[in-house]
Structure 1
Amino acid sequence: MGPFIKFLFSKTFIINLLIALLLLAGGLYATLNYLDDYSLHGQTLEVPNLEGKNFEQMDTLLNPTEFTAIITDSIYLKDKIVGEIVDQDPKPGKTVKQGRKIYITVAAAEPAKITMPDLVDLSLRQASSLMETYGLVVGKLSYRPDLCVNCILEQQLDGKPIAAGTKILKGIKIDLIIGHGLSNELTQVPYLIGMNTSMAESVLLSSYLNVGAVFYDADNVLTATDSAQAKVYKQSPFYSEGPTIQMGSSVDLFVTMDTNRIVHTVNPTDTL
């Protein structure tokens, strides 16, 4: 047996090999622990409920090593205090990784002002798109006999004509007077079951109809977020296969957060 082979089986080599393996294992363990702490691997937390709190309280409400709050939007709400958090993402109760950013929307001191666009002679679709870019909301639709079918004849605020260029508050509703030819035209009542109110309103507008009264399920529609996410479980009048209702009419909506109340008596794909 050669000297090198004898060395491999010697007590000195075996001791040195064991020491080297222990040092390697220790180094590997320390590295993994460092990476684990650095990346916060395996550490998750439940997102707290910040809605209703004031943004100035964030230093006491959130541990900076756990969450960071970032304002992404502000909105004016009459019943909210300036700086009050009205929405958050992720939502309360969701399990996320430690160090996650929480994006919040706070109540503004006053609504922003914009310049009223000129909607006259546009189609309803064009006017709706333009109003959305300005941060305006389509209000009540009324129809007037006119040769220009589906053209905007007049734009109104609080029942009075409003001229293009007028400074108005962002987010308000603008009522539209639309031409519908020289006869009383009928339109189809669309199928709205399962839609949120925003989507239902958009579908109604495309059928030249208005949203009537909105009835919220008192058992589960409790917050502004619930109101936005609640789905239609009943509508009046109900869906019609053909034109049965006069343009400009209203459709009442009944909405809920309880998905068990949403029953499709008509296949939604058959209504498209």
Structure 2
Amino acid sequence: MKFSLGKFTPNTLGGILLSLALALSIIVVLIALYFFIYLPKVTNHLESITVPNIEGMKVSELEDFLLTKDLRYEISDSSYSSKYPPLTVLKQYPHPGAKVKEGRKIFISVNRIDAPTVPLPNLIDGSVVNADAVLTSNELKRGRIILVAGPFNVVKEMKYKGAHIEPNVRVPKGAVIDLVVMDGGNGRGFPMEDMTGQDFEDAKVYILGANLNVGTVKVIGDTVGITPVILKQIPEPGETIKAGDVVDLWIGAPGTEPLDE
């Protein structure tokens, strides 16, 4: 039995054109099936995953956590921050909230185990204000001010972890440096200011400016989303104090009653 195209036989022009049209139609259908059915299925077209926030997470927890999200990770570099424990995620790419495909690799920067070191700047014979600025610019922190008798109000000695330390000795970034400061010949006491009701940050400015030290800070109640104020202080207002004394503070929301201790 022979298949017939009617008057369009394979040997006629009409038959050739019809054959070409049929072949072209088949090609178009195959292309459509590939791009709109097969390819989207393979590449999860129009399906996406929201990248979670993994900054601050321990690296040891990442693999199991990301597997539940159908994601992977790769360590791209490392740096250091004193705000996070060692071997935690400092940065990530793509950023949290980004839309990615299943199986996407998240590149992370990890906090180093050991802090990089910096040379301790020479603060001797300089003012406390200058010492604060220099320490901050070198990613170091100022600790306690220890007042000693002396004719000038300048730094006499630097200490690290309670021991004397010389300039240019390398210390870890974020290290706390205590300063031994001469009192400028003024060893007399002065009355403690009443800081009750003041913003916590304003109170700290007064304490440090008076060459006092912030001691224990106790938070009373919930302070999330508010500016805490001073509820209680020791030494109490009007009490005679001297430069270098420690001031303990109780802070909380305005109107909160401090605990009696």
Q: Matched residues in 2 for 1:115 and 1:209: separation?
A: 27
Distance in 2 (CA, whole Å) between partners of 1:254 and 1:178 is 28
Q: Which among 248, 251, 255 is matched to residue 252 of structure 1?
A: 248
Q: Secondary structure at the match of 1:130?
A: helix
Q: CA deviation at 1:84?
A: 1.8
Change (3 A) 1:51 1:164: closer
What is the CA deviation profile of residues 29-80 of structure 1, one whole-angstrom value per residue up to 9, with x for unaligned ones? xxxxxxxxxxxxxx9x79657543428548547677xxxx998963257x94
- In structure 2, list runs of 5 or more residues that go unmatched: 1-47, 101-105, 257-261
For residues 198 and 77 of structure 2, the distance between their equivalents in structure 1, rounded to whole angstroms, comes to: 34
Instruction: Tell me the equivalent position of 1:140.
Output: 144
Aligned to 1:132, what secondary structure does the other structure show? helix
Please name the residue that 1:123 is paired with.
127
Q: How many pairs are equivalent?
A: 198
Q: For 1:162-177, what aligned pairs fall within 5 Å after superposition?
A: 162-177=165-180
Answer whether contact 2:200 2:228 (CA < 8 A) is retained: yes
Alignment of 1:109 onto 2:103: no
Which letter does structure 1 place at the counterpart of 2:174? G
Offset of residue 181 of structure 1? 2.4
- How far 1:195 sits from its partner (Å)? 2.8
Deviation of 1:143 (Å): 1.0
Aligned-pair CA distance for 1:182: 2.2
Identity of paired residues, percent? 20
Per the TM alignment, residue 235 of structure 1 is displaced from its structure 2 partner at its CA by 4.2
Secondary structure of the 1:129 match is helix
- Amino acid of the structure 2 residue aligned with 1:162: I
Native 8 Å contact 2:88 2:111 kept in 1: yes
Equivalent pair of 1:135/1:170 in contact (CA under 8 Å):
yes
RMSD of the alignment, in Å? 4.8
5 Å-filtered alignment, 1:1-272, equals: 48=53, 50-54=55-59, 57=63, 60=67, 74-76=80-82, 80=85, 82-85=86-89, 107-149=111-153, 151-185=154-188, 186=190, 189=193, 191=195, 193-195=198-200, 201=204, 203-216=206-219, 231=228, 233-237=230-234, 240=237, 244-255=240-251, 261-263=252-254
- Three-state SS of the structure 1 residue aligned to 2:207 is helix
Quote the Cα distance in structure 2 between the aligned partners of 1:105 and 1:251: 39
TM-score, with structure 2 as normaliser: 0.55
Q: 1:231 and 1:147, CA in 2 relative to 1: closer, same or farther beyond 3 A?
A: same
- Structure 1 position 110, deviation (Å): 0.7
SS in 1 for 2:129: helix
Task: Check the 8 A contact 1:187/1:208 in 2, yes or no.
Answer: no
**Structure 1 residues 48 and 162: CA distance shift in structure 2, 3 A:** closer
Question: What amino acid is the match of 1:159?
Answer: G
Aligned partner letter, 2:118: I
* Matching residue's letter, 2:241: I
Q: Which whole-Å deviations, capped at 9, do the CAs of 1:183-213 have from their partners, x for residues lacking one?
A: 32437547484336xx765552222111112
Q: Is the 8 A contact 1:145 1:182 kept in 2?
A: yes
> How far apart are 1:107 and its partner, in Å?
3.6
Relative distance call for 1:212 and 1:49 in structure 2 (3 A) is same
Query: 1:203 and 1:120, CA in 2 relative to 1: closer, same or farther beyond 3 A?
Result: same
Report which of the two structures shows the higher radius of gyration computed on alpha carbons.
2
